[in-house]
Amino acid sequence: MKMNGVGNNSTVGFALACVLILAVAVSGLAGDFTSFRGKFQITYPEGWSQVDYQTARYYMKQTGTAAEFEAIFSAESESTVFEGIYMILTFEPTGELSQQQIDSVIEVVTGSFDRKLLSVSPDAFITELHTDNIVYDTENARLAITNEMVEDNNLVRMNMLTMQFFDQGIANFYFYSPDSLFEGHLGDFKSIVSSFATGDAVKHSSEPVKVADLKADDDSGVPVAVWAGAAVAIGAAIITRRKASRKKKANS
């Protein structure tokens, strides 16, 4: 069903709102998610749920980005999906990158934020991450950066982007949280990223196949630097959309 003019249809708008609220009210148990495109698997902790794919797809379209995504997850303590703590998972099919190519991606990201790069051990991946630096776990080929956002209603929200380099490409984890709840959920964020696995773990998943798995475009020829810029741009687009949405609500 095509959903043009949702904002002008109170019935459809109410139904959508109900979906957004109920989409996280699934199982409170920990679960696994497998990306068939990326051939990797992650585990989300107890208290988190995967958002219904159609609901997640609708939300991503509202951000104004054309980016494909693997899944969206939300902490179940929140009444609505995209107002509290949630994570967007995307995959960039670059194939396995050389260290020189990875360095090129890191250079694009550090240049975009104008921050110093800090190489850390896996144990210090989260503890050494601050808003004035970018951390890189050399052992696991994993990059992370946090960004503070102030929305129109003066609500401070934190975004943490983690890029996981592996043999199929780059998995991007976009974490979003109100500033007041960010520190308390760093353990969840670290748990999700650290659960990243490839190989045999992918073969035992019962995750339903979605349209994106079957009709993914072949983007293997896209330059690595473009992928890095796209990852940063997606996060910025989501932030901008949230601000625009809140401003519209305030003026209505």
Using one digit for the tens of pLDDT, what is the confidence trace for 174-227?
Answer: 999 989 899 999 999 999 999 999 987 665 555 554 544 444 444 445 444 444
What CATH number labels 32-201+217-251? 3.40.1000.10
Distance set, CA 12 to CA 18, 22, 83 (Å)? 10, 15, 20
Supply the pLDDT for residue 148. Answer: 87
| Burial (CB count <10 Å: 0-12, 13-18, 19+), residue 129 | buried
- Which range (71-75, 85-89, 110-114, 160-164) has the least confidence? 110-114
- Distance between CA 148 and CA 108 in Å, rounded? 19
In this prediction, residue 18 has a pLDDT band, given cuts at 50, 70 and 90, of: very low
Q: Which two tokens stand for residue 178?
A: 């109100």
Task: Provide the whole-model pTM.
Answer: 0.74
Supply the pLDDT for residue 66. Answer: 54
Digit-coded pLDDT (tens) for 159-178: 999 999 999 999 999 999 98
116 contacts 221 by C-beta, under 8 angstroms = no
Digit-coded pLDDT (tens) for 19-47: 443 444 444 577 999 998 999 999 999 99
Q: Which two tokens stand for residue 208?
A: 């339903």
Digit-coded pLDDT (tens) for 133-156: 999 999 999 999 998 887 666 778
Question: Domain spans of the chain?
Answer: 32-201+217-251
Supply the pLDDT for residue 38. Answer: 93
